[in-house]
Structure 1
């Protein structure tokens, strides 16, 4: 070891491999085996490898290592599942913010292509959304609260009116005990203290979640190119180009769906509001907002909204209720065959059966947020299956692995 690159390093290590900065003063009665090991440590510490070269790897297939790996895998899996359960609410906000960021990405990308800085483009989008929301609340918050309170307070009277007017409603109400259930739902926790504290807790939680969601969405949107590049870095070099093509196709599907679904929901709510005002159906504003929210849920949402509004319209007259049913059927056809193809085009192609199953599973797992995110997730999953799984299954080979078998 006369080569200069093999001389012991003098950067904090003392004679015989013992550091000047650890365990001083050096014990004089140190065991001989430790002294010999420190001498060997000084010999293997070089300029190129100050901490020595790695030794022989452990036998990964030894019974001990297999048992340790299995036990560690179980512990990590259980811990990760517990972490997901405990952080469920926070993860829902993160996932929702990511989907919203992907949803506004087409608008932000369009603005950046027209020489607007990305940060400025995100700011413009958020300012426009917040201004529209603030304008709506400023104009409608008072009648919205009044109508919502009146809808709840007069619900028993409206039900009794329907029972007196329509015998079929009375028989159904008696069989299902709708009077008792409705009264119980209204009077539950209506004490002054419980109602005030409960309302305050709900409002505070909603405001907090909205602020967090907005901040996360703005962050994800402003840093979307960097996040996109970081995701693609996890793919091997040989597979990265195809991963980029598939990933960008998924982003385009999700973005087109989120943005298009919001716009369609807004149009549906406006048309519903005009219809309800025309026929003097009570609580028009509250019911229109309900339609806007429920219409975000594919297939099931608009149907549920139509049933609720048809029941409310029944308090006006039976012809108005039947006309309202026809209006929602017509609105559904317009939405499916006119608005959706024009606004979203063919960005999201999910069969109706898959849509229903995805919405049901998403709602069962994550509530209304899961139902809203079910369709873009299903669209992404179908794209991955079509591009990755089906081609692999179609490439059937014989036992030798050389000759392709013709598909039947």
Structure 2
């Protein structure tokens, strides 16, 4: 029977000379029997080039036992994975959103890297720039928003009195739809208001926590994206890897162009809305402009919801201003769909209008707001795969 010396615990070359690792289950004795024999063979398999030996022969996949075992294991693994996905759905959505944002800022990072910036410096510069822009925006906007929110709270009693004035636009809406009655039912009962406040507080804290998780994950994903990309492509068989690289990089480019372009279009929407509201003296202009910019990130339905909200607030000024605001959003929506989107992101994403609407609706139903946000680039990726892989194969059969 073969025997071995245990080796020094700190000897890093031990596994290459003997099958029994010097840091595992010492002392090593002859009482190990057939395991010691296998360890002697393991010592022969271990080489400097292959410290853990060469891969062995594949199992006979046609064996009835192997087929049955593999089928049963597949069903069990599928069930466990399905349960895990359902349980971790919220966390998986946050991870997916962070990866989506990391791919979105990658064009800017790669642009700096191509100009001889180190990867770490490029990531830091892009993220620091975004942080400065967002931080500066909120530093300027928060005082104004707080001031306008305070003014709204002081003006709330006057708005309630306006609801009872049948000659005012709000009074006419109240007489037709019973707005005041609905508000009184909503606010009736102190416990109901308290519960609503507690629920709102929990929702805000939860949203801030999710936002922090997404920001941290986005930073890590952006910094490590080359290795993530490389690992993903190594999971593909070597014979198909070049083709997958071409298609995968094209999909990543579409996502990046969409994220940056969508952010730019939303900024334009908020700026134009702010100018319009200032010109016509609509109250809470900055607050409403920020709301429109955020809603415009959601394709198709975001601008509609924002326009309706702003138009209702414009009713506090007059009917003509409200109707003009409705017309403004209709014109802006046409300009956005047929001028801004085609010029900024349309040439890269290339998703037909019908597919856009269907994708946004399905994304909203499946994953809510996040699903609506990522629906268009996902649809673009699906269309690319259909045109490059599925349709050619079907044409050849």
Bucket of the pairwise TM-score, normalised by the shorter protein: 0.7 to 0.9
Gap change, CA 1:75 and 1:281, over 3 Å in 2 = same
Q: Quick check: 1:107 aligned with 2:108?
A: yes
Equivalent-residue separation in structure 2 for 1:126 and 1:41 (angstroms): 57
Q: Which residue of 1 aligns with 2:177?
A: 173
Q: 1:336 Cα deviation (Å)?
A: 2.1
Equivalent-residue separation in structure 2 for 1:124 and 1:187 (angstroms): 52
Structure 1 gaps of 5+ residues are: 1-7, 14-19, 28-34, 397-408
Q: Which residue of 1 aligns with 2:14?
A: none
The 5 A counterparts of 1:277-296 are: 277-296=278-297
- The answer on whether the counterparts of 2:4 and 2:28 sit within 8 Å (CA) in structure 1 is no
Gap change, CA 1:70 and 1:148, over 3 Å in 2 = farther
Q: Quick check: 1:220 aligned with 2:213?
A: no
> Bigger shift: 251-260 or 354-363?
354-363
Q: 1:323 Cα deviation (Å)?
A: 0.9
Equivalent-residue separation in structure 2 for 1:126 and 1:194 (angstroms): 39
Q: Which residue of 1 aligns with 2:318?
A: 317
Larger Rg: 1
> Bigger shift: 330-339 or 152-161?
152-161
SS in structure 2 opposite 1:356?
Answer: helix
| TM-score between both structures, scaled by the size of structure 1 | 0.79
- The answer on whether the counterparts of 1:350 and 1:379 sit within 8 Å (CA) in structure 2 is yes
Q: Which residue of 2 aligns with 1:11?
A: 4
Q: Which residue of 2 aligns with 1:154?
A: 156
Q: Quick check: 1:348 aligned with 2:341?
A: no
Gap change, CA 1:21 and 1:282, over 3 Å in 2 = closer
Q: Which residue of 1 aligns with 2:366?
A: 365
Equivalent-residue separation in structure 1 for 2:148 and 2:362 (angstroms): 33
Q: Which residue of 1 aligns with 2:309?
A: 308
Deviations 1:166-224 (A, max 9, x none): 586345414xxx44444444568877975665455344333322222122111111121
Q: Quick check: 1:92 aligned with 2:93?
A: yes
Equivalent-residue separation in structure 2 for 1:132 and 1:56 (angstroms): 56
Deviations 1:21-78 (A, max 9, x none): 6998969xxxxxxx9xx59967995754599x9799567542x554443332222112
Equivalent-residue separation in structure 1 for 2:302 and 2:35 (angstroms): 76
Gap change, CA 1:190 and 1:103, over 3 Å in 2 = farther
The 5 A counterparts of 1:324-403 are: 324-396=325-397
Q: 1:157 Cα deviation (Å)?
A: 2.2
SS in structure 1 opposite 2:259?
Answer: helix
Q: Which residue of 1 aligns with 2:20?
A: none
Equivalent-residue separation in structure 2 for 1:365 and 1:189 (angstroms): 35
Equivalent-residue separation in structure 2 for 1:159 and 1:132 (angstroms): 40
Q: 1:302 Cα deviation (Å)?
A: 0.7
Equivalent pairs counted in the alignment come to 373
- The answer on whether the counterparts of 1:162 and 1:314 sit within 8 Å (CA) in structure 2 is no
The 5 A counterparts of 1:154-303 are: 154=156, 157=160, 160=163, 164-166=167-169, 169-170=173-174, 172-174=176-178, 178-185=179-186, 194=195, 197-198=198-199, 200-303=201-304
| TM-score between both structures, scaled by the size of structure 2 | 0.81
Q: 1:154 Cα deviation (Å)?
A: 3.0
Deviations 1:69-102 (A, max 9, x none): 3332222112111111211221111111111111
Gap change, CA 1:375 and 1:149, over 3 Å in 2 = farther
SS in structure 1 opposite 2:347?
Answer: coil
Deviations 1:306-347 (A, max 9, x none): 122112212211111111111112211222232223322411
Q: Which residue of 1 aligns with 2:10?
A: none
Q: 1:376 Cα deviation (Å)?
A: 0.7
